[in-house]
Amino acid sequence: MSRAAVLGTGSWGTTFAMVLAEAGTETTLWGRRSEIAEAISERHENPDYLPGIRLPETLTATTDPAKALAGADFVVLAVPSQTLRANLAAWKPLIPPDAVLVSLMKGIERGTCKRMSEVITEVADVPGDRVAVVSGPNLAREIAEHQPATTVVACSDIGTAERLQAACHTQWFRPYTNADVVGAELGGAVKNVIALAVGIAVGMGLGDNARASLMTRGLAEIARLGAALGADQHTFAGLAGMGDLIATCSSPLSRNRTFGENLGRGMTLAEVTEATKQTAEGVKSCESVLALARAHGVEVPITEVVVGVIHEGLTPEEAAMLLLSRTPKPERYGV
Ligand SMILES: NC(=O)c1ccc[n+]([C@@H]2O[C@H](COP(=O)([O-])OP(=O)(O)OC[C@H]3O[C@@H](n4cnc5c(N)ncnc54)[C@H](O)[C@@H]3O)[C@@H](O)[C@H]2O)c1
Ligand SMILES: O=P(O)(O)OC[C@H](O)CO
């Protein structure tokens, strides 16, 4: 039996730990707050992030990272992307030497524009083939309710991807392997920015044509950036690309889409931030995605207006007009 440590007791960390435990992997969660760790270990619930969900009795949690990490074959990282570097630096001495580090995170680091797997290889000082990424249409609440879902387990070493696939494969959760870590990570991070745009459109009362247009042209942005960064284009037609984009942009469960919807309805950034209790990665990552795209000479007009609305005082109406008044183009260019 393999053993996993899941670091982060938020909605996805807890849900993925539940999936691992249900797949027969011995799993311990680490979280900062003792009341949540106690609720998971003793009452088998996480009332703050997954109210009403019964967690497996075999799943335990601790506030002691050494306890969670002891003997782990998989070290699963599920903290907000912008906190990964500092957290991982503190955990590094406790990580077993042969453990595989697994990112559940869908963000790009501010300042460095690095993907999470890049932050992991750098901070933990491990080779790329010991880092895996899980990304796909994975709204945590649905998975915790045992609704069927699929995902992508990406690792440059396919044997490692297959071991992780086996460790998280359940009756309801079906992971596929993929060797394209860059594509899986870009799909996950950039779709959050596109979901903010779709949310803004929904909040403005725009129709299904506008939503479909943003999703499709959003996928073109993801694919163009992916091409510049060496990703496999097939990944973007798959679960970690189109699949996650559709789920996130369509679901009221998405924190990113909901954040955008509130902005589109006319709430101020401060009001929306105050109302958002969980992590909406696109809010911070949109600036890093834009910087990354500019550094590679890639046009990302939807991302640009999302940055404009969130960080530069552009109104949703001005954002819509900016997109619609762009120079006419062929549908497929620059790829
Ligand atoms: N929730 C989902 O449906 C879902 C699905 C797939 C991927 N993800 C990704 O998983 C990652 C984690 O998201 P989540 O949904 O679990 O977020 P969340 O907001 O539900 O939980 C975040 C967790 O991190 C903790 N945290 C906050 N700041 C911290 C810090 N400085 N140091 C350590 N811990 C800190 C919080 O206490 C909480 O336990 C994100 O990158 C997200 O994009 C989420
Ligand atoms: O709630 P969001 O917007 O962070 O999206 C959750 C997942 O990434 C969907 O796959």
Residue 323: predicted pLDDT: 98
Q: Is 85 annotated as a binding residue?
A: no
Q: Is 9 annotated as a binding residue?
A: yes
Q: Say what the pTM is.
A: 0.98
ipTM, 2 dp? 0.99
Mean pLDDT value across residues 114-136: 98
Which residues make up the CATH 1.10.1040.10 domain(s) of the chain?
A: 182-324
- Fold adopted by 3-179: Rossmann fold (3.40.50)
Ligand 2 in contact with 139 (CB < 6 A)?
yes
- Ligand 1 mean position, distance from CA 8 (Å): 7
3-state SS class at 41: helix
Residue 332: predicted pLDDT: 84
Q: Is the pLDDT of residue 156 over 80?
A: yes
Residue 174: how many other CB atoms lie within 10 Å: 15
Mean pLDDT value across residues 293-315: 98
Q: What CATH number has the domain spanning 182-324?
A: 1.10.1040.10
Q: How far apart are CA 20 and CA 59, in angstroms?
A: 9
Q: Is 256 annotated as a binding residue?
A: yes
- The phi-psi region of residue 54 (left if phi > 0; otherwise alpha if psi is between -120 and 50; otherwise beta) is beta
Residue pLDDT, tens place only, 256-300? 999 999 999 999 999 999 999 999 999 999 999 999 999 999 999
- Ligand 2 mean position, distance from CA 143 (Å): 12
Q: Tokens 């993929």: give the residue.
A: 178
Residue pLDDT, tens place only, 178-208? 999 999 999 999 999 999 999 999 999 999 9
Ligand 2 in contact with 261 (CB < 6 A)?
no
Q: Which atom of ligand 2 is nearest to the CA of 259?
A: 3
Ligand 1 in contact with 140 (CB < 6 A)?
yes
pLDDT band at residue 333, thresholds of 50, 70 and 90? low
Contact 219, 227 (CB under 8 A): no
| Nearest ligand, measured from the Cα of 252 | 2
305 is written with which tokens?
């207006």
Residue 334: predicted pLDDT: 53
Residue 335: predicted pLDDT: 47
- Ligand 1 mean position, distance from CA 296 (Å): 29
3-state SS class at 285: helix
Q: Which residues are catalytic?
A: 191
Ligand 1 in contact with 305 (CB < 6 A)?
no
Q: Is 244 annotated as a binding residue?
A: yes
Residue pLDDT, tens place only, 69-103? 999 999 999 999 999 999 999 999 999 999 999 99
Mean pLDDT value across residues 144-152: 98
Residue pLDDT, tens place only, 35-71? 999 999 999 999 999 999 999 999 999 999 999 999 9
List strand residue ranges (DSSP E) for 124-238, in order.
131-135, 149-154, 173-178
Residue 97: predicted pLDDT: 96
Residue 199: predicted pLDDT: 98
Which residues make up the CATH 3.40.50.720 domain(s) of the chain?
A: 3-179
Ligand 2 in contact with 191 (CB < 6 A)?
no
